[in-house]
Amino acid sequence: MYKYSVFSDAEAVFEELKQRGMSPTMKSHMLLLAAHARSGNATRCEEVMAQLHKSGLTPDTFALNAMLNAYARAGRLDDMERLLAAMERRGDADVGTYNVAVNAYGRAGYVGRMEAAFAAVAARGLAADVVTWTARMGAYARRKEYGRCVGMVEEMVDAGCYPDAGTARVLLAACSDERQVEQVTAIVRSMHKKPKTLFTI
């Protein structure tokens, strides 16, 4: 019900702008794109992108990332890959772009593709953020590869990127026994104290 209200309100505002003879701006298109991207309504996002072009506007990286996210959430990975390749060619890809790809591949179980997307961040001179690292870790957490996840947190901290609550949730998801849960709990409790020495287990 809440989602329906958000989407219907966004659509209503967008239509009202047009009815009043006002040209929708990039921001108004973005609000509509973001609303539908979150639900994975890629078809509606494509229509919004078409309207954006018709208005004479050029989609920015934020808009393209929303479209990428819509494809990912809809499971349309081929379309996601085509858009990602186009963004890379144009130089539009940022860390948010790769966060979508890393998360999508990880959730689909394509670990090789996920690692390639993660490696592309550094290859393009970008810095992986906590979202990138946590999405990567999530792929291994789903396979209950606890040791791999803990090792990845160490890599993350060494790279100067520190865990957040999302990282802690992923670490807990990787646990397969009570001892591991206790270790993660101890790590989470001390995160704010000694971030450089937390993950020696």
Q: Which amino acid is at 159?
A: A
> Among 102, 106, 43, 51, which residue's Cα sits nearest to residue 76?
43
Q: In whole angstroms, what is the distance from residue 7 CA to residue 144 CA?
A: 36
Phi-psi region of 129 (alpha: psi -120 to 50; beta: other; left: phi over 0): beta
Contacts of 180 (CB under 8 A, 6+ apart): 146, 174
Name the E strands within the chain: none
pLDDT at position 200: 41
Digit-coded pLDDT (tens) for 1-49 = 334 445 555 555 555 545 555 566 767 777 788 888 888 899 999 998 9
pLDDT at position 169: 92
pLDDT at position 46: 94
Q: In whole angstroms, what is the distance from residue 131 CA to residue 161 CA?
A: 10
Digit-coded pLDDT (tens) for 128-169 = 999 999 999 999 999 999 999 999 988 998 999 988 889 999
The residue with greater pLDDT, 189 or 39, is 39
Q: In whole angstroms, what is the distance from residue 126 CA to residue 130 CA?
A: 13
Q: In whole angstroms, what is the distance from residue 150 CA to residue 154 CA?
A: 7
Q: pTM for this one?
A: 0.81
35 in helix, strand or coil? helix
5 in helix, strand or coil? helix
Phi-psi region of 56 (alpha: psi -120 to 50; beta: other; left: phi over 0): left
Q: Mean pLDDT lowest for which of 36-45, 125-134, 172-181, 187-196?
A: 187-196
